[in-house]
Amino acid sequence: MIENSPLMASGLARDIEFLAARARSIGTLITNAHLAGLDLRVRSYSVLALACGGLSPTQRELAEFLRLDPSQIVSIVDQLENDGLVVRKTDPADRRSKIIVATEAGEARYSEAVVAARAGENEALAALSPSEREDLRTLLHKVAFTPVE
């Protein structure tokens, strides 16, 4: 019964950074569990999501948006490409850049994954009402896209 832990009395329990870390830890655990059957994890799911829907991001854009190092994007795209879910296309405008685009199989896999991820989100946010979820989304959006560095 974590809610009744005496540690709830500590200042840490009111520290937003700690609460965000704990919430994210739970969220990742639950979402990974929901994605497991689709051979995806949170990170590969997020890359696949951005490769779908004609957004045509470069690896550099993926790295910045997902806050992952460019070298990490390489290995995630390697996996997804190996699984036939995305392809790399050289950008005709700048031949240094590779544009990542989902294959048909990738789009299909993503359709299933969205449902799984939504179920995970639903489970992780069980304690919140629909309007609270919208409030949280709005607040986190502001924080998540605060410019940094």
Partner DNA sequence: TATTGTTATACTCTATAACTATA
Partner DNA sequence: TATAGTTATAGAGTATAACAATA
Residue 134 CA to residue 31 CA, distance in Å, equals 19
Interface with its own copies (CB under 8 A): 1-3, 5-7, 9-31, 42, 46, 49-50, 53, 55, 57, 61-62, 64-67, 114, 117, 120-121, 124-128, 132-133, 135-137, 139-148
The item of its own copies, DNA, none sharing an interface with residue 128, based on CB under 5 to 8 Å by kind, is: its own copies
> Tokens standing for 145?
């896209």
95 binds, options its own copies, DNA, none, Cβ within 5 to 8 A by partner type: DNA
Q: Using CA atoms, how far apart are residues 134 and 131, in angstroms rounded to an integer?
A: 5
Determine, following the binding rule CB under 7 A, whether residue 22 of this chain makes contact with DNA: no
Give residue for tokens 């696949």.
Answer: 48
Cβ–Cβ < 8 Å for 77, 86: yes
> Toward its own copies, which CB reaches closer, 104 or 148?
148
